[in-house]
Amino acid sequence: MCGLPQEDGEQFREFVRIVLEGVDLPAEERIEAFKPVEDYIIPAIVERRENPDDGLISYLLDAEIMGEKLSDEHVFGSILLLIVAGIDTTWSAIGSSIWHLANNPEDLARLIAHPELLPSAVEEFLRAYAPVSMARLVKDDFEFQGCPMKKDDWIFLSFPAANRDPEAFDNADEVLIDREINRHSAFGLGIHRCLGSNLARMEMTVALEEWLKRYTKFELDNSEPTTFSQGQVRGPRRLPLRILERK
């Protein structure tokens, strides 16, 4: 999609690590940590500007919003977002699904016995453990329930909280792998809905199918801590497991 070499996949995964682990770094260290990302993507943008192809970078460079071309900074941000969103969100969702099954042997046993439940289970894992929240820029001064927000403030909007709305979901705080009505917001809403939602569903389904074919019983290895990421994407970063039964 981006028109970047597939053989650079390992480098993209390193970019994801840089972006995620740089969240809590001081500003100067974060800028320095981002340099390899910039050194890869910016030359690609320059190259596509000079030699357009049919990839997404060339498409963005040719696009206009209200009669104006997108800036290189905007194109850079869009490409970086696609690289990060295409890797980290999916492995976070897969990791959270396996974490749930390790903690809930009854659900694991049901999926092993009834693999036809997997599509509804995937949707329920997305609802219950939606990996992505978004930052938003405040348009005007505003106060919400006593919390003042100023124009141009950045706010962290946890829109997956809507997935726990008791008016929208029966037993909203329970994970029900056979839930039938499940209009969750794990992929966002409206014009900003996730571009890769169907690909993510397919990747989750295939990953869990293959995992459950190999490992029919497993649990958390509590001798080591499970750690979760911080920031806009949530999911296990370290998930120690004890395999009890395999095929």
Residue 1 in domain: no
DSSP assignment of 65-89, as one string? Answer: ETTEEPPHHHHHHHHHHHHHHHHHH
Domain span including residue 20: 6-246
pLDDT at 23 over 70: no
CATH number, domain of 116, equals: 1.10.630.10
Write down the pLDDT at residue 130.
94
Q: Note the pLDDT tens digit of each residue in 180-226.
A: 999 999 998 888 788 889 999 999 999 999 999 999 999 999 999 99
Q: Note the pLDDT tens digit of each residue in 130-174.
A: 998 888 889 999 999 999 999 999 888 887 899 999 999 999 999
Query: 228 has which bridge partners?
Result: 236
pLDDT at 230 over 80: no
Rounded to an integer, the average pLDDT of 95-108 is: 98
pLDDT bucket at 83, cuts 50 / 70 / 90: confident
Q: What is the pTM of this model?
A: 0.82
Query: 69 has which bridge partners?
Result: 64
Write down the pLDDT at residue 188.
87
Nearest to 23 by CA among 241, 228, 211, 188: 228
Residue 79 in domain: yes
Residue 233 in domain: yes
Residue 185 in domain: yes
Decide if 30 contacts 22 (C-beta within 8 A).
Answer: yes
Residue 17 in domain: yes
Residue 128 in domain: yes
Q: How many residues does the chain have?
A: 247
Nearest to 88 by CA among 10, 9, 16: 16
Please state, for a pLDDT cut of 90, what percent of the chain lies above it.
Answer: 56
Tell me how many domains the chain contains: 1
